[in-house]
Amino acid sequence: MTRHRIDINCDMGESFGAWEKGEDAAMLKIVSSANIACGFHAGDPDIMAKTFALARDRNVAVGAHPGFPDLMGFGRRHIPFSVGEVERLVAYQIGAAQAVSQYVGHPITHVKPHGALGNLAQHDEAVARAICNAIKAVDSSLICLSIALGQQHRIAEQMGLTVVSEIFADRAYTDEGF
């Protein structure tokens, strides 16, 4: 008998400053892993620390959720960075998440690109490779959480990273994974 594990995952830590978004404490009662915004599309050091600590207290795995620097568009707008810039943006955000998660005693286990960056990595091989390069360079033991059947999944496997596919239960998909 083959056993499969389903991880219920949620993006969170998306408040910043005095602005609040989401019900992180409530969601942490029902998820098994969480992707924490790293300050570019949402989040800030205080929100990150608070969210990592809440996740630690609920025994919820945490990961970095890097995105384009797009607070006004919530990381949903494609910003035309070079491949090298994307790689450095992702590495920077992983590093921030690692530092803050270590600070509260609940280290990150995975990386999941946010919004427009994650969607771009599904079909743009160069962007997918930049994200995977950043993960591998910063900490190759981190799991690469990737949209199923996308370029990032394929490249992460080729690079020897541990990769886990995600699906959105509330969406319909084509055979190509879109």
pTM to 2 decimals? 0.93
Average pLDDT over every residue of 44-58: 97
| pLDDT tier at 133, thresholds 50, 70, 90 | very high
59: left (phi > 0), else alpha (psi -120 to 50), else beta? left
pLDDT of 120 reads 95
Name, in order, each residue with C-beta under 8 angstroms of 171's C-beta and a sequence gap of 6 or more. none
How far is residue 100's CA from residue 4's CA, in Å, rounded to a whole number?
31
The pLDDT value given to residue 47: 96
CA dist 49 and 119 (Å) reads 27
Question: Where are the domains positioned within the chain?
Answer: 9-166
Alpha helices in 65-150 (DSSP H): 83-103, 115-123, 125-139
Assign 2 a pLDDT band (cuts: 50, 70, 90). low
Which burial class, exposed, middle or buried, applies to 154 when counting CB atoms under 10 A from its CB (0-12, 13-18, 19+)? middle
| Polymer length of the chain | 178
When pLDDT is averaged across residues 98-118 and rounded to a whole number, the result is 97
What local confidence, expressed as pLDDT, does residue 177 receive?
64
Q: Which helix (H) or strand (E) holds 23?
A: none
What proportion of the chain, given as a percentage, has pLDDT over 70? 97
According to the CATH classification, is domain 9-166 in 3.20.20.370?
yes
Q: How confident is the model at residue 38 (pLDDT cuts 50, 70, 90)?
A: very high
Cα–Cα distance between 22 and 162 in angstroms, integer? Answer: 29
Contacts of 41 (CB under 8 A, 6+ apart): 14, 67, 68, 69, 70, 71, 73, 74, 75, 76, 114, 115
